[in-house]
Structure 1
């Protein structure tokens, strides 16, 4: 087992490491990989710190560097498939694809089924994430359920995000190990405030490592597996049976037409009711006044 401790460093190196921890805590900013590599010391010390056990942070395994210095690509691939089939076969097809995913290196992320109602058609959706080696088997099962109306494939390059997170994990791991070694250093004249500051910086660094490890895990799931989204929808005939039989179509729509007619009559009566209530008495009064005036004129001029 490799043992590495700041006890083997001269006292000025321990003080420099403590000052660095205080400076990073006060600034609250991330240190660039070049800056942290320079702070790590010579190459031998850096190699020992990288090989030290990391029990508290699940750092990503170091992959061998590709030949020629090329960066390994991390591509997230997604498939959106639209399957059309008979309405009474949607549920069976939905179950068949889900069962096939369970047999492969595949996981179902989301699954939903809609029953056919009078006001909505039936349908089903499946969202899965499958390993590339089992993609062909899964797609074969999907295509065997019905007619594939659409198959859209998209990809997103996440290489920069993966490289940044991995570099941040390596750098923060080295910094965390140096803080642990500094905390174990037996210095009689060390102040309590310095110990508390180191402890606080160590806790903050470990929290950043845990967050980065979770982010890296999600990125690796997106790039090492391919997302497959399948939408099952029923077939719709371009020539409906009602169009070929207008009498039957009219009989089915008779109730709705009658309802609209009755609603129109009710609306008309409601609109004319205030006019009838006020206008009829007023018209009757005007007619009586006109007749009385006419009789008065006839009496005055026989």
Structure 2
């Protein structure tokens, strides 16, 4: 019997960062170049399980942490759930693991978290992969603009935000804009709902939802960093995303004109769920060889 190349099994670990027990998964050689995978809402590092398997033989160390308020990460009483604090903890996480240089994969919430770190520690970022992670005003859909405009003190705003944490709300985020929802494994939404149901998690997510508007004021700073960084950039985007539109994907080319861009018709916000076979080879080639200036679309 012929046995193919061995794909390393991910390891599941924790590390203490400023009183937070950060859970993370990693695979690959300890001395290899690092790809830091930053997840989105309402999921956690488990969203990268299939991608990590698909990239198992890439000569990189793949590391995916759970943010405070997500997945298996545990926070102390009184933790403040803001995007600034999430970035603080992830930055401290990279310090704790000795990650002096790494490529960054930013999906959804991973964009405001990761780009904060990039501005603070620009010397650390070797490359950027963006997957449905917005950093431009034109990338906000009408639905996203309505959500970011919500204020906690306005009657009904809290109920609107918390509707995102229901089974229907979670499934909608996975399925909206997807041509074939049967391609979406049910495991992800099911696990998301489990973590959302843990004590204090809905409150934490509501705090972050109301803080999301703070990210918009950082857009010019993040764009300026991108213009000055001079790093390879790969932009991957589910074209049916109900929150972040393809215009936001194309806007990256304004500040990183040599970036490689792929729009995936039939994919939604969670493009990895339905288009992993198309996306994983692009990431593999990008990590090994850098960007290719081919035509848009896939």
Between Structure 1 and Structure 2, whose CA radius of gyration is higher? 1
TM-score over 0.5 for the alignment? Answer: no
* Larger RCO, structures 1/2 (Cα 8 Å, 6+ apart): 1
Q: TM-score, normalised by structure 1?
A: 0.22
Higher helix content, 1 or 2: 1
